[in-house]
């Protein structure tokens, strides 16, 4: 709904260019759009209020008045302010002086994804050369210890566990002793999920913290959390005195405004983002990119980084040439698709491309991994000649391809047609002129009517 905030702002402020100045009415109208976008993204109401109040003052400043494109200018300011509020330059984990170990305590609500996050963090630190151990202190959820043993093992970490009979505080303390003996670099302590209003369990968390004296306490927060994120963060801030936040389930389509709320009310930065089922789907948190995500402006930098890790540069250059010269074939497409799929689930990638948030609503661009398997099967059932020249695929060839790939003739036909459409789109992107937001907006039928929320 708010994928096109910048379009909306441009529309709202469209007549400003003619007048040359932003008056208070213009700014109020723009603030209303921004407020709705932030609320839709689950940023806490009170945070939104103070944020837009500050923003308004800055927008009324002279730099905007002289700007040629007020809509873009406002977007830029919003993005800057959001990034600033989200944590500015960000912060790294605090490591213990040698010989260590650095102790990291993890806490959060039930179902927020702590255990998986522990393993991902272990892998992340392990990849940078640290010897990591995990302490299994979630003795309440029946399978939690087993789960940590399994995923921790997969992450290449040592797991210290004492089953589910021991006291969590004792387990933590015992694990710390072992980590010292075995000279581990890092000890990550997994704890049971708990409701922030559960005083008994919150007191237990405090006891664990006092016992192991962690260098970092991380609060694990589900990206789908709503307005209540503020209450949760405040309570955990008291009991766990957390230093930073780890956001999970960012692979879904939630905007993750909770990140902003938590930062705004506790002042604690978001350190990491978990973005999928795989252990590798984990990265350092980038405040500037999250600001763009909350505003629905895409996350180009993260995408480029992912691509850089996975795509061979020579191949990429080769591809670029082919795209520009229109020699892009189905064979290239197949290769490309496999490259991209190596980066992780496509739905996660698409969300990072500006404008794709809107494109995703187009039926044909809907991401379905099963559909991609079918596409692969269809292309693999074609002869090299057919892959190079899809136009040569006539009725009887279509029938053969469909039979070979276990699909229907109409699906083969559809693929070839989509390929043609895509070639046009990719050519324009390759030559450096991405489709404009206006073009994308035009593709959408109308859009939902705006809810009327009062000015404040």
Which residue ranges make up the site for other proteins (CB under 8 A)?
A: 36, 39-42, 44-46, 109-113, 142-143, 146-147, 150, 195-197, 222, 224-229, 231-232, 249, 251-255, 257-258, 345, 347, 366-371, 451-454, 456
Say how far apart CA 5 and CA 52 lie, in whole Å.
Answer: 15
Q: Is the dihedral of CA 337, 342, 343, 348 positive or negative?
A: positive
Say how far apart CA 429 and CA 258 lie, in whole Å.
Answer: 33
Q: State in angstroms the smallest separation of the CB of 224 from other proteins.
A: 4
Question: Residue 83 or residue 275: which is nearer to other proteins going by CB?
Answer: 275
Question: Residue 366 or residue 389: which is nearer to other proteins going by CB?
Answer: 366
Q: State in angstroms the smallest separation of the CB of 212 from other proteins.
A: 26
Question: Residue 96 or residue 340: which is nearer to other proteins going by CB?
Answer: 340
Question: Residue 258 or residue 273: which is nearer to other proteins going by CB?
Answer: 258
Q: State in angstroms the smallest separation of the CB of 58 from other proteins.
A: 23
Peptide bond into 295 cis (omega under 30): no
Q: State in angstroms the smallest separation of the CB of 161 from other proteins.
A: 15
Say how far apart CA 426 and CA 66 lie, in whole Å.
Answer: 36
Q: State in angstroms the smallest separation of the CB of 253 from other proteins.
A: 5
Tracing tokens 């004492």 back to the chain, one arrives at 162
Q: State in angstroms the smallest separation of the CB of 251 from other proteins.
A: 7
> Nearest 5°: CA angle at 449, between 350 and 445?
55
Spatial CA neighbour of 31 closest among 3, 59, 7: 59
Residues 279, 155: contact at Cβ < 8 Å?
yes
Q: State in angstroms the smallest separation of the CB of 338 from other proteins.
A: 17
Question: Residue 47 or residue 172: which is nearer to other proteins going by CB?
Answer: 47
Phi, psi of 343 (to 5 degrees): -75, -10
Question: Residue 45 or residue 362: which is nearer to other proteins going by CB?
Answer: 45
Say how far apart CA 329 and CA 334 lie, in whole Å.
Answer: 9
Q: State in angstroms the smallest separation of the CB of 293 from other proteins.
A: 13
Say how far apart CA 139 and CA 172 lie, in whole Å.
Answer: 11
**CB-side neighbour CA atoms (13 Å) of 131:** 9
Q: Which helix (H) or strand (E) holds 197?
A: none
Say how far apart CA 334 and CA 300 lie, in whole Å.
Answer: 23
Q: State in angstroms the smallest separation of the CB of 415 from other proteins.
A: 17
Question: Residue 104 or residue 151: which is nearer to other proteins going by CB?
Answer: 151
Q: Which helix (H) or strand (E) holds 171?
A: helix 168-181
Residues 80, 86: contact at Cβ < 8 Å?
no
Buried b (16+ CB within 10 A) or exposed e, 345-373: bbbbbbbbbbbbbbbbbeeeeeeeeeeee
Question: Residue 255 or residue 398: which is nearer to other proteins going by CB?
Answer: 255
Question: Residue 135 or residue 145: which is nearer to other proteins going by CB?
Answer: 145
Read off the DSSP letter of residue 408: -
């Amino acid at each position: 709904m708010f994928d096109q905030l910048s379009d909306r702002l441009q529309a709202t402020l469209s007549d400003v260019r003619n007048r040359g100045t932003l008056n208070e009415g213009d700014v109020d109208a723009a603030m209303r759009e921004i407020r709705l976008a932030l609320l839709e993204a689950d940023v806490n109401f009170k945070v939104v209020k103070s944020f837009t109040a500050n923003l308004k003052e800055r927008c009324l400043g002279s730099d905007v008045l002289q700007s040629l494109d007020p809509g873009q200018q406002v977007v830029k300011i919003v993005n800057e302010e959001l990034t600033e509020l989200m944590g500015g330059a960000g912060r790294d984990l605090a490591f213990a002086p040698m010989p260590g170990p650095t102790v990291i305590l993890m806490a959060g609500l039930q179902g927020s994804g702590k255990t998986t996050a522990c393993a991902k963090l272990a892998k992340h630190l392990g990849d940078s050369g640290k010897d990591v151990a995990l302490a299994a202190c979630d003795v309440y959820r029946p399978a939690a210890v087993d789960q940590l043993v399994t995923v921790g093992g997969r992450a290449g970490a040592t797991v210290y566990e004492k089953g589910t009979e021991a006291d969590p505080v004792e387990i933590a303390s015992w694990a710390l002793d072992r980590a010292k003996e075995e000279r581990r670099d890092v000890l990550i302590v997994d704890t049971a999920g708990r409701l922030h209003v559960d005083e008994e369990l919150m007191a237990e968390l405090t006891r664990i913290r006092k016992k192991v004296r962690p260098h970092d306490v991380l609060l694990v927060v589900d990206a789908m959390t709503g307005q209540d994120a503020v209450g949760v963060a405040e309570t955990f801030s008291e009991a766990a005195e957390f230093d930073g936040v780890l956001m999970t389930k960012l692979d879904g389509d939630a905007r993750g405004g909770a990140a902003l709320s938590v930062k705004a009310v506790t002042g604690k930065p978001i350190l990491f983002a978990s973005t999928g089922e795989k252990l590798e789907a984990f990265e350092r948190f980038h405040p500037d990119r999250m600001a763009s995500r909350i505003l629905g402006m895409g996350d180009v930098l993260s995408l480029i980084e992912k691509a850089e890790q996975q795509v061979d540069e020579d191949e990429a250059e080769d591809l670029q040439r082919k795209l520009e010269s229109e020699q892009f074939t189905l064979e290239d497409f197949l290769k490309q698709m496999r490259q991209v799929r190596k980066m992780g689930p496509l739905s996660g990638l698409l969300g990072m491309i500006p404008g794709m948030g809107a494109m995703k609503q187009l039926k044909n661009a809907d991401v379905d991994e099963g559909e991609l398997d079918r596409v692969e099967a269809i292309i693999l059932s074609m002869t090299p000649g057919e892959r190079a020249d899809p136009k040569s695929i006539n009725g009887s060839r279509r029938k053969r391809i469909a039979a070979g790939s276990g699909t229907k003739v109409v699906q083969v036909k559809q693929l070839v047609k989509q390929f043609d459409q895509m070639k046009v789109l990719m050519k324009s992107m390759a030559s450096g002129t991405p489709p404009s937001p206006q073009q994308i907006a035009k593709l959408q039928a109308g859009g939902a009517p705006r809810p009327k929320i009062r000015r404040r």
